[in-house]
A and B are shown apart, each in its own frame.
Chain A
């Protein structure tokens, strides 16, 4: 199976490692070979957390610049920062809720303007799906479910060789029991939102 490469970028605490885990379990359920790597030493100290997931026949667990088929950003500025991983065929999904880094608060940086950010990503890549994952997560029942919302949109793109059904099963087995219903709802809302963008 030809490899499909996914990069997920997030800010520590946004739950991208759990999203990766769900994807990994779903790949296992789907009999799709999967390898992942993550940089998470500083996850709790407010830094960037990046996961690379390679589906299909490959031995590498990391993804070189320009080689991502799919980029999912949990935070808009981080999505923009990760554009070096993309090429003109890459499909990008991004949350639009900014979490400005502290360097902005202390005046040593300026947060990118969101309209411009979307325009830039759109003109450089194959497709951009944007959503307010925070709002959808709250609708699903918890602001913590941002990761599941984005997972929904990501699966809707159809770029990954994984079905929504297997993701849902992985959510049931991998995420905390008390949150399964919220997570499934969040996944569904994210999926529907990406579908809307296609229409």
Chain B
């Protein structure tokens, strides 16, 4: 049985934050779950997916976050506890649903998980999604630890049902990807079949109805503020006339700092876990017992601005600071030493930080950036497009996925990246605004997610560019999740259909479509050249299964290559495609046969034809 389905209350186990969140939802009897994968939230969905194979829990990989939230919104309004999981920028995609769903509300609990990524370990921005709570008027919960995350998810469903509103559950990477000991609770029974009761006065957001619904939402925000003031997730610890107000992981850093500075009897901490609406009464009372307050929150000064406004309402003039000069930043993530240093500095406690090592005589260490895997077909496609477009002045808009790594030298085939799906829309704009050639790249999953609408736009408005769809048959970057183009039978899953990208593109009216095998270099270059010459919208579907995915399906050919004595050291292989299977043995190029997957790309571009398949089978 899947570990998160264990009916074993009291059991203590080590869980990744994301698994603790999934377990919390399962303990709460969640029935319908949906997602579009995105780091750092992806493991929550993976656990739901696995658990759904062994239980009556419904889970789906939706085509994008907007659809995911629509699925859950309908289920929650049919009486089923539901949850949608996404990374922070995913909520931008779902925000159109979010804003008006707040007007409609829900009949059963709906929790929307948004995983923020301070420092951008794997994201294109570090937006602070607490603002979505303010923007939509929905309650926001924020855990400070892995074990609290599990309990808080359960409460989130209850709060959602009390208020009849969705609840935003906001994590940061250091909650999602931390591991701690979690105690299992009781499994609540799952109600898996709902019934939709028609209620047009509340469920149909036309202007006449929406005017009433906005009134209802504002009343709900007041009710939510009352809950926030009473919430066990907003609590005070410690004592003294100095105060800290903090949230999320900062609470852990602050607690450790107070212990280590030995000042727990002089500084008290107000931890905010129910952060929208802010607990106004609780905060005002707290301020009245403090001489000086420090706000510790990663990201934007959301709490700081609210707390300062509360102080003004109470005519309190005590110093309140957070993101001020010499204190905390709006940038990146915090760490224990930073928090300790700022606390000591602001409240004037002695603290000498550990002396850092003098690293001035350390030689420069070569960087180790993530790279496209050995034999990754994206590398072959980039090489082919570069050859086909030789001599042209080309703009290469690209998109979000493993292939974004093509911006690194020596490939350097990425000029413009914003967000999921933007390659197609921006290509429209570049083709209008310039006379430069436009060739853009998008992965299969991202194309389904939101790239398709830009392509429809391009056909309708008669734009002029070539779109290369890098169809590696899976959502690779986030860990091999399915998308509508995936053949699910290969993974032994039934109950799924499959959408052919070429049929879809053809049906949109694209006049020039070709499918290539990226491992066939010469033929691909010729096919891409034809597409580049076509005036109008042309689409190349470069199709080859992700090597890691193929490996997991045991579909990789058992064939590595080696560099023979014919090698004249031209190094086209290293200088132009830079596959990580190459290494230098002195001055001689060699291939690591454990890494080589036999794609034969290098052997086709070697001017001496010196790269040959190993006769011997790989061990």
Residues in A lying within 8 Å of B, measured CB to CB:
3, 11-12, 20-21, 24-25, 28, 33-42, 44-48, 57-67, 77-78, 80-81, 83-84, 86-88, 100-106, 108-113, 116, 120, 124-125
Q: With A28-B14, A41-B40, A67-B354 known to touch, is A120 a contact of B361 (CB < 8 Å)?
A: yes
B185 sits at the interface (CB 8 A): no
A148 to chain B, nearest CB (A): 18
B60 sits at the interface (CB 8 A): no
A42 with B368: CB separation less than 8 A = no
Interface flags for B233-250 (1: CB within 8 Å of A; 0: not) read 000000000000000010
Question: How distant is the Cα of A157 from the Cα of B177 in the complex, in angstroms?
Answer: 28
B177 with A65: CB separation less than 8 A = no
Q: How many residues of B are counted as interface, with CB atoms below 8 angstroms from the partner's CB atoms?
A: 59
- Give chain A residues whose Cβ lies under 8 Å from the Cβ of B13: 28
Further 11 A-B residue pairs, CB within 8 A, beyond A33-B181, A36-B178, A66-B353 = A39-B177, A45-B405, A46-B368, A59-B144, A61-B252, A63-B335, A64-B338, A80-B362, A102-B371, A111-B366, A124-B358
A100 with B179: CB separation less than 8 A = no
B410 with A42: CB separation less than 8 A = no
B39 sits at the interface (CB 8 A): yes
A126 to chain B, nearest CB (A): 11
- Give chain B residues whose Cβ lies under 8 Å from the Cβ of A78: 368
Closest to A86 in B: B357
Question: How distant is the Cα of A28 from the Cα of B182 in the complex, in angstroms?
Answer: 11
Q: With A44-B373, A101-B368 known to touch, is A106 a contact of B578 (CB < 8 Å)?
A: yes
B367 with A35: CB separation less than 8 A = no
Q: With A65-B356, A87-B354 known to touch, is A48 a contact of B368 (CB < 8 Å)?
A: yes
Residues in B lying within 8 Å of A, measured CB to CB:
12-14, 39-40, 121-122, 144-146, 174, 177-181, 249, 251-253, 255-256, 259, 335-338, 353-359, 361-373, 402, 405, 409-410, 548, 574-575, 578, 580, 582-584
Closest to A38 in B: B177
A66 with B364: CB separation less than 8 A = no
Interface of B is mostly: loop
B179 with A102: CB separation less than 8 A = no
A37 with B179: CB separation less than 8 A = yes
Indicate which residue in B122, B356, B410 contacts A84 across the interface (CB closer than 8 Å): B356
Indicate which residue in A21, A44, A61, A86 contacts B548 across the interface (CB closer than 8 Å): A44
B251 with A59: CB separation less than 8 A = yes
Could you give 11 example pairs across A and B, Cβ below 8 Å?
A34-B180, A35-B178, A47-B369, A58-B252, A59-B251, A59-B253, A61-B179, A78-B368, A101-B367, A105-B582, A113-B363
* 7 tightest Cβ-Cβ pairs between the two chains A and B: A109-B366, A59-B252, A64-B337, A45-B370, A47-B370, A101-B368, A41-B122
Question: How distant is the Cα of A42 from the Cα of B39 in the complex, in angstroms?
Answer: 10
Question: How distant is the Cα of A64 from the Cα of B582 in the complex, in angstroms?
Answer: 35
Closest to B589 in A: A105
Q: With A45-B371, A88-B357, A106-B575 known to touch, is A100 a contact of B366 (CB < 8 Å)?
A: yes
B354 with A109: CB separation less than 8 A = no
A46 with B14: CB separation less than 8 A = no
A105 with B574: CB separation less than 8 A = yes
Closest to B175 in A: A61
Question: How distant is the Cα of A14 from the Cα of B38 in the complex, in angstroms?
Answer: 24
- Give chain A residues whose Cβ lies under 8 Å from the Cβ of B355: 66, 87-88
- Give chain A residues whose Cβ lies under 8 Å from the Cβ of B405: 45
B336 with A60: CB separation less than 8 A = yes
B364 with A109: CB separation less than 8 A = yes
Most buried by A among B144, B353, B366, B584: B366
Indicate which residue in A3, A44, A61 contacts B180 across the interface (CB closer than 8 Å): A61
- Give chain A residues whose Cβ lies under 8 Å from the Cβ of B249: 60-61
